[in-house]
Amino acid sequence: MTPTAAAPIRQHLPSSSSSARSGNLRLPARLRLPARPRAAPSASMSAEPRPAPSPVPPPAHPTYDLSAVIALALSEDAGHRGDVSCLATIPTDVKAEATFIAKEDGVIAGISLAEMIFNQVDPSLKVQWFETDGNYVHKGLQFGKVYGCAQSIIVAERVVLNFMQRMSGIATMTKAMADAARPACILETRKTAPGLRLVDKWAVLIGGGKNHRLGLFDMVMIKDNHISVAGGITNAMTSVDQFLVKENLAVPVEVETRTLEEVRDLLKYTDENKTSLTRIMLDNMVVPLPNGDLDVSMLKDAVQLINGRFETEASGNVTIDTVKKIGETGVTYISSGALTHSVKALDISLKIDTELALQVGRRTNRA
């Protein structure tokens, strides 16, 4: 199948995000390529192309440094010698143009992150995008180009694709789940790849989902282990309310319930006490049936008991096949760990224009 280019081309300067800290970390010396002359870009890349800012910014996190994550990914690839394959085969002054091609249908995500990676590897690279984060792409679509030092493009290639393919896979599944879940909102969980928490959650936002808590710091979430140690839901909730008052903290509070009895106990507590509770999780209250159907009667009963007094969140047995029926019960949110812990990467390639590279290479060799 011959790849087809999308039109028109959108060109923008990159935007910075305080939460991403995209430009505050220099690469280790072994990642910086030798100095090289800057040649004029090809005619197709002559308008200082840069990507559109993502329509969805990354989640704001108080300690996560996205530039450091990028530098680590580049460093683990370069090791202590750098790209010996490039150093052995490609002169430092050879220029190339490479094209991003979708190898399957899906939601593209990671365009803004790719821009950060290219910028960290070589700020002189010129990047041009035909799509923005969150757009649906079809197999064979050319959705971006990068022009500049051939070594720099190849050094950045795998890291860029690793991030983009993972993020696009998450965004694609999130989009499918979010569409099916309406009017409920789809959430991910903390079941993210270690070190990639913000990246995974960013992809969920790009796919049309919403973020659950970023970590242990931004929400009180009382789950089964807390309840067991505290001696029951009422004791756990009492301790939470006392702690928040003592520490003068204002954060959302969610409590996990597993039975209708636990829901009633929690509601009884809230009726009798001033409380900080904001959301009730209804865990594993849907039951898959042998015939492939789904029994959501317990979940419906719980939602009716709560009757809009608090946000509700369904969790457990959530799949692309069950999420529609769960969403129809009236819950506010549906959370799915599978969005990030079982992601299937979207296949994307970055191919160098061989003819252009050969022409530049021949001119370089003659010189």
Is residue 103 annotated as part of the catalytic site, yes or no? no
| Catalytic residue from among 223, 264, 300, 325 | 223
Helix pair 150-181, 197-206: axis angle to 10 deg: 60
Query: What type of residue is 172?
Result: T
Is residue 65 annotated as part of the catalytic site, yes or no? no
Is residue 126 annotated as part of the catalytic site, yes or no? no
Q: Are 127 and 148 in contact (CB under 8 A)?
A: no
Q: CA 313 to CA 282: how far, in whole Å?
A: 6
| Catalytic residue from among 188, 200, 254, 256 | 256
| Catalytic residue from among 36, 190, 191, 324 | 191
Query: What type of residue is 211?
Result: N
Is residue 191 annotated as part of the catalytic site, yes or no? yes
Q: In what order do the strands lie in the sheet with 253-257?
A: 185-187, 333-335, 311-315, 279-283, 253-257, 220-222
Tabulate helix, strand, coil % of the chain (nearest 5). Answer: 40, 15, 45
DSSP letters spanning 138-202: -TTEEEEEEEEEHHHHHHHHHHHHHHHHHHHHHHHHHHHHHHHHTTSEEE--S---TT-HHHHHH
| Catalytic residue from among 32, 139, 158, 210 | 158
Q: Are 306 and 268 in contact (CB under 8 A)?
A: no
| Catalytic residue from among 97, 122, 262, 283 | 283
DSSP letters spanning 186-244: EE--S---TT-HHHHHHHHHHTT-B---SSSSS-EEE-HHHHHHHTSHHHHHHHHHHHH
Is residue 262 annotated as part of the catalytic site, yes or no? no
Report the alpha-carbon angle 335-295-281, nearest 5: 30
Q: CA 321 to CA 324: how far, in whole Å?
A: 7
Residues tagged active-site:
158, 191, 223, 256, 283
